[in-house]
Amino acid sequence: MRGLAAARLAWGGLLVTVPDLVLGTLTGRPATRSQTRVLRVLGTRHLVQAGVELARPTRGLARAGVAVDLLHAATCAGAVALLPAWRRAALIDGTGAVVFATGGLTRARLPSTGTP
């Protein structure tokens, strides 16, 4: 499951370092200052979560990560429904959160071998 953590690190790194480029690519419009801030916060969350996943790859932490990802997907669903300016980006990001949650569930169900 290191691949999933690596993908999370890459996504978080992009959100933190080039949020304008990410949002511009997803929406075709320049990012606002508030959107840039939100993406940096979300990117930081992904970086922290990936670091925890790599440092302590346990079933319990995988389950906690799944809960965080599902909460994130739920907030994205709310943004899709209520915030037209965020709709496309929230749909893409929410889909990614569901993918991360699915990977975390898979990790949580694997036998514990002491290695990730």
What is the secondary structure of 24-51 as a DSSP string? HHHHSSPPPHHHHHHHHHHHHHHHHHHH
The residues spanned by each domain of the chain are 2-109
Q: Which amino acid is at 57?
A: P
Q: What predicted TM-score, i.e. pTM, was given to this entire model?
A: 0.81
Tell me which residue of 107, 11, 30 sits closest to 65, measured CA to CA. Answer: 107
Q: C-alpha angle with apex 47: 70 to 22, nearest 5 degrees?
A: 80
Write the pLDDT tens digit of every residue in 49-102. 999 888 887 888 888 889 999 999 999 999 999 988 788 888 988 998 999 899
